[in-house]
């Protein structure tokens, strides 16, 4: 089958012919129809330090997809060939304390699809049946292909009560943009989002942000004044992975404010811990999606009017992947969908 493979330990990706995955008794084989590109895939493409120490070579990459069940293992129940599916890309062990307590997102033995095991940028992908997610009729193919990152946005945004609260989102990448729509949907009051990229800030505005700020020129303090905010932001969603953005967030939080950290910071960074201590801030780290509570919540929000479709800015054919990766690098895109049919 055709697959997008990290074939050599150097920058780049290669469209290659590899064997179709085997289906063991608890697995589901999925015919991939659409995939979406994530920042993680770009790290693998660029072959940065993290990718070099993490990604086995050669291996097919990718973890955001939508497809159709082609075959199920002998022990699989509840899923049949032809079902429309997406999948949870974190494969958990099932026997550690957190897994057994139903907190699978905290499994210490998590394996990532397209990171630690062969991914979905291919004509077929296999997944444990537990990880497949049946897509309801109400959800279209394109949105089904981005449920993974929408799940990151959902998990982060719903970590704290947003009703009537003033929310700061740092980073208007695809996940920050979708978190904006979610915060709006669940009833936040002021919703301020920052980035250094005007193309993406415009998408965030379209998704319902009260103020979009390019931190290269705009000031958060001025925006707070304009919005008549007196004490600071109640909730912060850090979605840039930028140390400066986190420091700025800590500075403008209200006493007792709550922060969810999704953005992956570049190793060790310094912050003023006294901002955390004297303000009594609560900080929560976010990894992946809750299995499967986050999936349930995002589907019900989509079914009750949440519209994240503007975040999908481009559709391309899988064979045009080089162009797609260059576009993502340029910052002039939201989510890019690749068609595998
Ligand atoms: P992305 O890289 O597309 O978006 C990050 C955005 O932050 C970019 O638009 C960038 O311009 C912006 N930015 C850079 N400097 C900034 C600054 N000083 N202030 C404000 N914004 C700034 O990534 P994404 O796909 O939207 O994901 C968001 C973050 O979440 C990334 O760091 C990603 O690695 C991380 N992530 C974490 C998990 C997890 O499980 N914890 C899962 C998926 C993604
Ligand atoms: Zn586990």
pLDDT in tens, 14-33: 999 999 999 999 999 999 99
Name the nearest CA neighbour of 160 among 183, 139, 176. Answer: 183
Instruction: Round to whole Å and give the CA distance between 263 and 240.
Output: 5
Average pLDDT taken over every residue of the chain:
98
Task: State mean pLDDT over 285-309.
Answer: 98
pTM of this structure: 0.98
150 lines ligand 1 (CB under 6 A): no
Whether 170 has a pLDDT exceeding 90, the answer reads yes
How many helices and strands (H and E) does the chain possess? 12, 18
DSSP state of 130: G
Nearest atom, ligand 1, residue 328 CA:
3
Task: State mean pLDDT over 171-191.
Answer: 98
Within 13 Å and on the Cβ side, how many CA atoms surround 233? Answer: 29
CA of 147 to the centre of ligand 2 (A): 22
Task: State mean pLDDT over 291-303.
Answer: 98
Q: Whose C-alpha lies nearest to ligand 1, atom 8?
A: 173
Q: What is the pLDDT of residue 322?
A: 97
Name the nearest CA neighbour of 288 among 130, 52, 29, 103. Answer: 103
Q: Model confidence at 267, in pLDDT bands (50, 70, 90)? A: confident
Q: What is the pLDDT of residue 252?
A: 98
Q: Whose C-alpha lies nearest to ligand 1, atom 23?
A: 173
Within 13 Å and on the Cβ side, how many CA atoms surround 279? Answer: 24
């Amino acid at each position: 089958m055709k697959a997008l493979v990290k074939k050599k330990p150097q920058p780049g990706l290669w469209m290659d012919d590899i064997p179709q995955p085997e289906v063991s008794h608890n697995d589901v084989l999925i015919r991939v129809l659409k995939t979406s590109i994530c920042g993680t895939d770009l790290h693998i493409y660029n072959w940065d330090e993290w990718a070099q120490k993490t990604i086995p070579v050669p291996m097919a990459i990718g973890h955001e997809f939508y497809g159709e069940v082609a075959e199920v293992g002998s022990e699989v129940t509840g899923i049949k060939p032809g079902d429309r599916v997406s999948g949870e890309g974190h494969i958990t062990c099932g026997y550690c304390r957190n897994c057994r307590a139903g907190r699978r997102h905290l499994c210490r033995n998590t394996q990532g699809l397209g990171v630690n095991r062969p991914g979905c940028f291919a004509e077929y992908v296999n997944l444990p049946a537990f990880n497949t997610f049946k897509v309801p009729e109400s959800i279209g193919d394109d949105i089904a292909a981005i449920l993974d990152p929408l799940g990151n946005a959902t998990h982060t945004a719903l970590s704290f009560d947003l009703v009537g609260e003033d929310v700061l989102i740092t980073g208007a990448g695809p996940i920050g943009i979708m978190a904006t729509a979610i915060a709006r949907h669940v009833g936040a009051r002021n919703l301020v989002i920052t980035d250094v990229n005007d193309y993406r800030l415009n998408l965030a505005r379209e998704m319902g942000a009260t103020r979009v700020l390019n931190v290269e020129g705009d000031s958060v303090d001025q925006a707070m004044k304009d919005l008549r905010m007196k004490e600071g932001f109640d909730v912060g969603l850090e979605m840039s992975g930028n140390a400066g953005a986190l420091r700025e967030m800590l500075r403008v939080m209200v006493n007792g404010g709550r922060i969810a950290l999704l953005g992956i910071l570049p190793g060790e960074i310094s912050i003023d811990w006294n901002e955390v201590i004297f303000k009594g801030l609560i900080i929560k780290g976010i990894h992946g999606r809750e299995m499967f509570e986050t999936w349930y919540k995002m589907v019900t929000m989509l079914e009750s009017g949440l519209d994240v479709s503007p975040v999908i800015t481009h559709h391309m054919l899988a064979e045009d992947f080089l162009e797609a990766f260059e576009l993502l690098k340029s910052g002039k895109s939201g989510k890019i969908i690749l068609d595998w049919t």
